[in-house]
Homo-oligomer: A and B are copies of this chain.
Amino acid sequence: MSYNTFGREFRFTTWGESHGPALGATVDGVPPGVPLDEAFIQQFLDRRRPGTSKFTTQRREADQVRILSGVFEGKTTGTPIQLMIENTDQRSKDYGDIASSFRPGHADITYHLKYGIRDYRGGGRSSARETAARVAAGGVALAALNHLVPKLRIVSYMVQMGQMHLDRANFDSSAIADNPFFLPDAGAVDAWADYLDGIRKDQNSVGAAVEVLIEGCPPGLGAPVYAKLDTDLAAAMMSINAVKGVEIGEGMGAAALTGTENADEIRMGNDGPIFNSNHAGGILGGISTGQPILVRFSVKPTSSITTPRKTINQHGEDIDLITKGRHDPCVGIRAVPVAEAMAACVILDQFLMDRAQTGGVRGKIG
C-alpha cells in the first residue's frame, strides 16, 4: 500500500516528482457550488514559491496552477478537481553523483531500500516540491471554508529559527505577510535576516519552529477516538518534509505542569462558554471547544549543505559528499504556507465528517 492520499471526506492525492513534467493534486469530496478559480489558488502558491527571497532556493518555478476538472462557470460541481502545476525549471544537468549516492539526512537511502528504484533527480517524490501540490489543495479547502464557515481564520508564522525566538510580547499578525520569515514581529526581521545570512555564509543551515493559529473554528469538530482533531492536525504537520515534532496548546511543556496550573476554568458568557485560559490549545477529548486552536511544529535544518559529509553510495562504498544545487538555508520558512494549507484541509475534512454524523446540530447549554 502506497499512501499519497490525505483526508476522509475532503480528500486529495498528490502526484508528481521534482523533475518530472508536472505535479499536482487530485481533490475529491469538495462540496458543490463553491466559488473557485485559478487566481484564488495561485495566491497561495505564490506565497510558497521558491525564489521569492534570497533565503529560499533560487530555483525559479512559475508554479502556475491549472484547474483541469471539477469547476464549471466559476463554481465547484462536486466532482474531482484536478490541479496541475507544470515543472518548468528542471535544469538539464549531470545527476551522476546523486544518482548513486545517498545524501545524509535525505530520503535517498530509505526510498532505495524500500523500492529498489528511485527517481533521483532533485529528490524525486521525496522532494519538498511535493508541498506545492498540497498548497494548491489547501487553496481549494480554503475556498470551501470561506463558503461554509466564513468566520474561520487560519494564520501561520515562524516562532523560532535556530537561536532566534519570537518575542510573543511583540506579536502582530499584520506583520506576517510583509517579511520573508512570515514573522509576526516587524522589529525583529533585520536581526533574523542577519542571523540567517551568517548561517548561509557558513555553508550551513538551521532548524525552525512554526505555529498555526486557527480562530473562529466552531465547537464540535473532531471524531473520537482515532480521528481526533488534534490527532489529525499532528499527522498533517508531521507529514510535511523535515518535521520532527508537533505540539497542541502547551505541547511538550505540559509534562512540567501541575493540574491546578493546567486547568482551563470556564465561565458562562453571553454567546456560550468562556474559557479563562487555553492550555488545551482549543481541543478537549479530540473535539474543538470553540477557542483558538494552536498547533506548533519543528522543522529540522536543511540536510543539503555544501559542507562535505560522510556517506555511502549504492555500491556500498564510503564517500564524502557535498550537496550542490540550490537549497534553502532554512526549509522551515517554506513550511509556513504549507502548514496553513494542511490545517485548512484538516478543518474542512472534520467539518464534513461532523456534518455527516450530526447534521451540524450542536448540543445546547442553558
Is A180 in contact with chain B by the CB < 8 A criterion? no
Contact call A15/B80, Cβ cutoff below 8 A: yes
Contact call B244/A252, Cβ cutoff below 8 A: yes
CA distance A77 to B20 in the complex (A): 13
CB contact between A125 and one of B79, B113, B235 (< 8 Å): that residue: B79
B residues within 8 A CB of A316?
A: 268, 365-366
Is A56 in contact with chain B by the CB < 8 A criterion? no
B residues within 8 A CB of A298?
A: 250-255
CB contact between A244 and one of B111, B117, B251 (< 8 Å): that residue: B251
Contact call A113/B287, Cβ cutoff below 8 A: yes
B residues within 8 A CB of A279?
A: 300
Q: When each residue 9-36 of chain A gets 1 if its CB lies under 8 Å from chain B and 0 otherwise, what string results?
A: 1010111110011111010111111000
In the complex, how many angstroms separate the beta carbon of A243 from the nearest chain B beta carbon? 8
CA distance A160 to B302 in the complex (A): 30
Q: How many of chain A's residues have a CB under 8 angstroms from any CB in B?
A: 161
Given A30-B2, A298-B253: A238 and B231 within 8 A (CB)? yes
CA distance A261 to B332 in the complex (A): 16
CA distance A251 to B118 in the complex (A): 28
Q: When each residue 67-87 of chain A gets 1 if its CB lies under 8 Å from chain B and 0 otherwise, what string results?
A: 011101001111111101000
Is A208 in contact with chain B by the CB < 8 A criterion? yes
CB contact between A77 and one of B30, B124, B300 (< 8 Å): that residue: B124
In the complex, how many angstroms separate the beta carbon of A120 from the nearest chain B beta carbon? 8
Interface centre among A104, A289, A307, A314 (most CB of B within 10 A): A104
Is A177 in contact with chain B by the CB < 8 A criterion? no
Contact call A317/B268, Cβ cutoff below 8 A: yes
Interface positions of A from 115 to 145, Cβ below 8 Å from B = 115-119, 124-126, 130
Contact call B355/A359, Cβ cutoff below 8 A: yes
Contact call A239/B245, Cβ cutoff below 8 A: no
Interface centre among A2, A112, A126 (most CB of B within 10 A): A2
Contact call A305/B259, Cβ cutoff below 8 A: yes
B residues within 8 A CB of A5?
A: 5, 11, 28, 226
B residues within 8 A CB of A125?
A: 77, 79, 224-225
28 inter-chain pairs at a CB distance below 8 angstroms, sorted by A residue, are A4-B225, A4-B226, A15-B68, A15-B79, A16-B69, A17-B70, A30-B357, A32-B117, A72-B119, A79-B224, A109-B284, A110-B285, A111-B285, A116-B361, A125-B225, A160-B255, A228-B238, A234-B234, A244-B248, A244-B250, A245-B252, A251-B298, A252-B252, A259-B302, A263-B309, A266-B310, A268-B316, A314-B366
